[in-house]
Amino acid sequence: MQVICNTEDFQITEKTAVTLGKFDGIHKGHQLLLNALLEKKKQGLKTVVFTFFVPPILGREDVRQLTPNDEKKKFLEAYGIDYLIEYPFTEKVRHTAPKDFIQEILCKKLCAAFVAAGPDFCFGYERKGNVALLEKMSSLCGYEFEVFDKVSYKEEPISSSRIRECIGEGQMEEACEMLGRPFSLTGTVIHGKAIGHTIGFATMNLVWPEDKLLVPIGVYLSKVKIGGNTYQAITNVGHRPTVEKDAAKSDLLLEAHLLQYSQMAYGEEIEVSLFHYERPEVRFSGLDALKDQLKKDTLACVTYFEERGNDGKKEGFIEEKA
């Protein structure tokens, strides 16, 4: 996938199928648009996702994303998209009239032969451009246009904001249904204090990314992908109040204890998928009390995935192999 980021200086010369939007989360509604592009790809068009460049503002709660920029790129590339355009949102661009946006950017720069959008998509100065204008201009500019209805879940439209609310309330299963996959994050395993190892619950530790949407502090039933295999895990997201004297000032960490895995993984990249919010983070009286609770959490994890069929795989705790 070719990424064109924060520049107006480009020109796609091949005929393209284009969809436009923020695509935070790349949920089932977004995937409907992407699938429409892939159908056009079979007919020889290049596929383009057009969004605006949003520089990460680290640590700001109001700009944390379901899928930060790097995550989004990896997802779209794996999906089969040919071009990701992260267009600069300058004052000049912000004041672009909707018709000019269609003619100068959509048609000339992107060489659009097919455009897909949701029913409430707006663009151009003061968001005055809409799907009605895109439809009206399609014959004049020579592109095919199709509007796709919103995808619903439990009789309400799926949206990034609705998913964010679910995650904020710890409703991970609901978020999973709307995303089409579990809420997850990827990172490089760092060294911890190795306290988990001393009580038989060694963990893989990640610092929570500053541009990634926060989840409620607590323990999650999860799966961790490492080296092509996926393992069940109990994962704590928090500040480790039992072992940190000044927990409130410590970094927000993700600590995953993988069932049936004992190898060192420092420096390796892992993907952690959070399936279920099990309980809040607790300050225990000591390591023995913590160990007793972790045994209960492990049983809850095994039971949770057994009840959901484990994708029909019952051999140990390894879920899949790439």
- SS3 string, the chain, reads CEEEECCCCCCCCCCEEEEECCCCCCCHHHHHHHHHHHHHHCCCCEEEEEEECCCCCCCCHHHCECCCHHHHHHHHHHHCCCEEEEECCCHHHHCCCHHHHHHHHHHHHCCEEEEEECCCCCECHHHCECHHHHHHHHHHHCCEEEECCCCEECCEECCHHHHHHHHHCCCHHHHHHHHCCCEEEEEECECCCCHHHHCCCCCEEEECCCCECCCCCEEEEEEEEECCEEEEEEEEEECCCCCCCCHHHCCCEEEEEECCCCCCCCCCEEEEEEEEEEECCCCCCCHHHHHHHHHHHHHHHHHHHHHCHHHHCCCCCEEEEC
Domain residue ranges of the chain, discontinuous segments joined by +:
2-153, 183-309
CATH number of 2-153: 3.40.50.620
Q: What average pLDDT score do residues 64-84 get?
A: 95
| 183-309 fold | Elongation Factor Tu (Ef-tu); domain 3 (2.40.30)
- The whole-model pTM stands at 0.88
Give me the pLDDT at residue 202, please: 83
Dump pLDDT digits (tens) for 217-236.
999 999 999 999 999 999 99
Dump pLDDT digits (tens) for 257-270.
999 887 888 999 99
Per CATH, 2-153 and 183-309 having the same topology is answered no
Dump pLDDT digits (tens) for 82-129.
999 999 988 999 899 999 999 999 999 999 999 999 999 999 999 999
